[in-house]
Amino acid sequence: MTFDLATLVQPATSKILLVVLDGLAGYTTDERGTELEEAETPNLDALAAAGITGLLDPVGPGITPGSGPAHLSLFGYDPFDYHLGRGALSAAGLDVHLNPGDVAARGNLATIDEQGIVTDRRAGRLPDLEALEVVRLLNEGVRIPEVDIQFVHEAQHRVLVVMRGADLDPHVDDTDPQVTGVEPLHPMAQARSATHTAEVVAELDRQARAILAEQPKANCILLRGLDSQRQLPTVQERYGLRAAAVAIYPMYRGIGRLVGMDVVGPPTTIDEQILLLKEHWDDYDLFFFHHKPADSAGEDGNFDAKVAAIEALDVVVPQLMAMGPDVVAVTGDHATPSQMAAHSWHPVPVLLHGERVGRDPVTKFGERDCLHGALGRRPARELMPIMLNVAGRLAKYGA
């Protein structure tokens, strides 16, 4: 029998702020510490010194998470019980409604060479205006009998692909190999019911390559995370919280929307995120504040840029604290070590600040420091009930 946390939820006026530095964590080498350890973060260090710290496993020890399950876990949803494909997340983030039977996928505009080998999975992080022209070509050119295909630009190289027609099934493997130096993967049906969809994806891939053959950067589209319409229990139903997502990138607005958060904005800079937070501070109980640049830099293998992205978040911490949150948690959704230029399994540091959290010996926010924190090392899904209790929003269990 699974315990229902909602039975303990009680009303309160407290404010909870969850700050997520996407791809925050890394790992040390003989030459230097992690990006977080090397960054100058006086404000985050002060929060760590005035609260408690620890390490989170986004999904489970040794498991490299995608952004979807990693964020669901931070929101208190067991990622093994609630699975979301990137297609569903992107659709929600772009406010594209999926009808029953639709299949959506996250697409990367990418570069392949004359031999069909992937040389850049992100087409040089194509600027938005260039990407919009590529998306226009795809929308005008891709035609598959009895299947309506829609391409929607998300940001830079990222594209949402929606397939609408009869007998579609999302159980098809990705075409994105998620590494360079190899060919795109052939779409393979995971079940007999998905055979038709795999054929549609293969034809989409063939036509897209032909249409984009003369493009200097984006001459291919790689698909991953095929999914269909999703309905999740909301944070209001689970925790009694009015929640808001303050995020720049559509996918993270999407995951907030799928768990019942209101999505404010959209902002385009961290300063606009701060202004939106101030504007809506009286309207919500929980705020999800998402910071993307650290992950992008890590995926590009750029150590210095990731350090700078972390430091940029540190600069605004005083503005966040000036709003008077009762509970603040700062963490990442997963690790993106610049040495790997990819997501990894490494645990993610977390700090928790609030009047009733206590203190531990940690005075600096970093992976090796948080190893000694009072929160210990725990599944990320356990962070939400801890925040709720510190915020006075959980009643005692039992007599």
Model confidence at 86: pLDDT above 90:
no
Q: Average per-residue pLDDT in the chain?
A: 96
Q: What is the pLDDT of residues 326-363, one digit of tens each?
A: 999 999 999 999 999 999 999 999 999 999 999 999 99
Compute the average pLDDT of residues 97-110: 95
How confident is the model over 300-315, as a mean pLDDT?
98
Residue 83 is predicted with a pLDDT of: 82
Query: Domains of the chain, with CATH numbers?
Result: 8-84+232-390 (3.40.720.10), 90-227 (no CATH)
- Residue 2: pLDDT above 80? no
Mean pLDDT, residues 272-292: 98
Q: Average of pLDDT values for 82-105?
A: 90
- pLDDT bracket for residue 56 (50, 70, 90): very high
How far lies 83's CA from each of 33, 243, 341, in Å? 33, 21, 24
Strand partners, 43: none
Instruction: Determine the pLDDT at residue 1.
Output: 47
Q: Model confidence over 206-231: pLDDT tens digits?
A: 999 999 999 999 999 999 999 998 88
Distance between CA atoms of residues 258 and 326, nearest Å: 25
Percent pLDDT > 90 in the chain is 92
Considering only residues 97 and 286, tell me which one the structure prediction assigns the higher pLDDT.
286
Task: Tell me: pLDDT of 32 over 90.
Answer: yes
Confidence of residue 320 (pLDDT cuts 50, 70, 90): very high
Residues 6+ apart with CB under 8 A from 14: 285, 326, 327, 391, 392, 393
Average pLDDT of the residues in 321-327: 98
- Quick one: pLDDT band at residue 101, thresholds 50, 70, 90? very high
Residues 156 and 128 sit within 8 Å (Cβ to Cβ):
yes
pLDDT at position 84: 82
Give me the phi and psi of 258, to 5 degrees please: -70, -25
Whole-angstrom distance, CA of residue 367 vs CA of residue 136? 44
Handedness of CA 392, 393, 398, 399 (dihedral sign): positive
Residues 6+ apart with CB under 8 A from 279: 264
